[in-house]
Structure 1
């Protein structure tokens, strides 16, 4: 059956748990894979091969989390200068070199006396006079003086240095290069739909270009599987009766065998008695077995670690049905951790918002470890794109940043309306999908607050640079604590700077301090990321000024001076729509240049953290 075959990962050489779009025609038939370029061979050797356009590439590793792989060209003679190297012929629609790769141009047969510092001495049988190499910005003088040239890709971590012979190039190139792989955009969308409908991605046997979704019932679809409801009422009724009897007996048995932890929780909520290691539910979510999740994460392989959440480490995993997930593993399985586990399950299962990460399931609280299973969000965090590993100049224009602000604020507004405080709002906890839509993650510090209470007193938690001063000093937790943290995030979106940076001046280690000082001194332009077009685009300038003013209000030391998240959302929508969201548009003040406007200048800025405080990035690409 194609479905069962295509849901099983396979191994090839030293690369393990390989999934779509790769295939090998042995363990994984071609109907389970993508195009011919993704066919792996030579699996008996440590490193498999890809054959692409008559060229051979040795695959060193594949990162299924970031959709990248490290490869080495194997069909080239790097030991002689006589024959110019042939350029790679990777399809740009399927493979792109990552930002960790540099292009080196090698020039051959340079018969003129060229003064150029980077050159090789070749072997005696080489007929040319010189072999030079250089980067794009260095080689203009060589292009007209050399007869042949080739372009090779090398890792930035393995720079090419001048050497006495051609072996230097061989040594560097054999360290490989990195590419990101992907299917055609349409195929990627179809595969997502297929996996979401419990199907397995693949191809039609006779056409490598035609996507196919293999379904559990043996059928095939061009996009997604259909949900069948053909079970008769009689059979369904019998199953319900059988299940009810089973749960009753199980509940009766467990009444006398509960652990200390279980007794503590069931005393306050008897309905929780019905969970079991498998086949039951917590608050309506699926209960996974520990073995299932251990297999999905390759025994919690450290290479699959996504980051540290509020109370646990998050791992990338892939379920049997092909779904990619983020598995949160709580640090300790004691009473306090079980309490947090139950709290997070209760919170997440009753929340439904397009900008909140979804909970797929969890383990039983009787499991040897407490695990939460979330949807996996593939495009990293806002922090990654602003000042982290995914940062690219101009790749996050202002309109996208504005959407991120609105989406995040909408999610926080919904949480507050549900009487939930997030307590750890930061750009590392704001995930982005492939279309840069927001998913707010990491409810590890969330707490329900009672309707009769205006605050919750508890030990300060959160991340340096985001914790509001009032909470830090008085341990008073309110929804306005999230508003303060969101204000810091707004400044990050404006500046592309991290919330805490100990390399900055001591008065500017804390980004909120820096922002308040710049705004009060009418120097916002010194804070704004130059790539946003603040100086050249009037509309962008107007919006950034307005967002900065809103951030300033959110960052006030006194919580009473801060707006609610509902007010924040309304203001952002008003800014985004250029006043069309509301009938009346408040005046937007230009706080970037010298004028007489000073916003709330009498309210002192929040204190800067000590210089030895370093914020650790948490929960990249996943909830946690």
Structure 2
């Protein structure tokens, strides 16, 4: 296309290239200024399907350079909704980086039956990449450029097996039941085995960005609206248009004047269509109601109602919401209501009629029904101020929904690693958050009706409420443990960087595994560093192992956050260092219990509080907003069972090494 009238700015220019030596092959369309092959364009959705290169590592003559894709400066981004980051390999870590910082990644391991070459023969289509030989992870929003890195799982050891990493399109499978379509699972849009792949399909989203200074057509059949696709800095970074629907059949290009074609129909036809539409609507509503009632029964709704009425479920107010009610409060699960998105579920914000703000957790794929039931049963038996409160559930969908209290201030990871000047992460706040999380875990391990192991403690699963109090969340992988049961798992679950090495080796999860994960969070609070970092040689480095090394080499103060060093007293900081070091013991039996951890943190907080009073400092938040564990009657019983003077001796003579 030579004429500039054919496209809205240079970024939208399509160039046809002869990519084959055979004359009977048609030229291939490319986005000229980006250099990516175009497969299709959807004007209504604002998407472009492209062929995206993949990255190979340790594949001999087929090795490829690290993929460094860039859409920077263009009106395009890699779609978070339609793409996924996938890696295939054996005992390797695949990392997606943006400007040198990791933004996504996953870990894949192999079992004992693995043979060299099995990875290359793998077909990704319709495969559940849950960490065995392949893994996947979601993309961040506003992704305009990325690079990929594949490293060995063990430190200082490179992966020797041929491995693959890619940003690839994902499709939804839909399940039909009584003419009602329901999303059932996802499949990766890749045909063939991975060793034969050079490119994979991916999806770009686009908008008419504001800096193009274009006047979009004021057409009767087209409608343009503000969008925020390409920039997190602006609420309205551009616009999109689509052809209206109504009593006309509209199609065409909404971005040019007269581009949307309306085909009118006769008045009699309109009346007939209206009658048919009302009949179809009534029929569909009947079918949907029957489907929802069937799903309600299948998901145990009748039994749950009995338990709620009998008081068997130990929670003040757990409600069974209707799907219609949740659709109304979330604007039909509008993407504008999304407040959190992970690999397994999406969380939407809504407001009930009584003004209570809620968070609705919607699982993405079929097969997570077990996690839903598990999370509901566990949370219905928990009543603790530092654990996110379950308000109810909806059982009228293929995959049930959970409804929680809405926690407004995000998670600890964001607060810690993206600090703002308005709410600085002070030493007192860090210490308080650590104490609150420890107290919640101690409650789960000891004070609940049955011991509960969280199994995925990490800073992103620690939410912060309106007063920045900690709330432990995401119990999807948790388990209630009987006193006579040893918890063995066939698949290791958890998050790399927080995962207990002993659990990884034995597949036996104990309360001390939660202690290890909490130790990593404690080190995050001390250092302000992420659980996994890349060294200058692009080697994946565990914060836990780095912290232990610094303790052993008497250089631990070199990595403590500057704000902590400035605000905290050295002896108090060292007590926390010693406590974190004990939590990260490789031998789980040597780690303290969460009861011991809680009491130690309470003791340190009291000492810190006395020091602050003597020095005349004022805390950011009033002390009455954060009552200590001493306010609970159970603390008296705990203190009588545990003598603080008998705790494990702390490390001594730690020196600051010159930087």
TM-score where L is the length of structure 2: 0.46
Larger RCO: Structure 1 or Structure 2 (Cα < 8 Å, ≥ 6 residues apart)? 1
**Larger strand proportion, structure 1 or 2?**
2
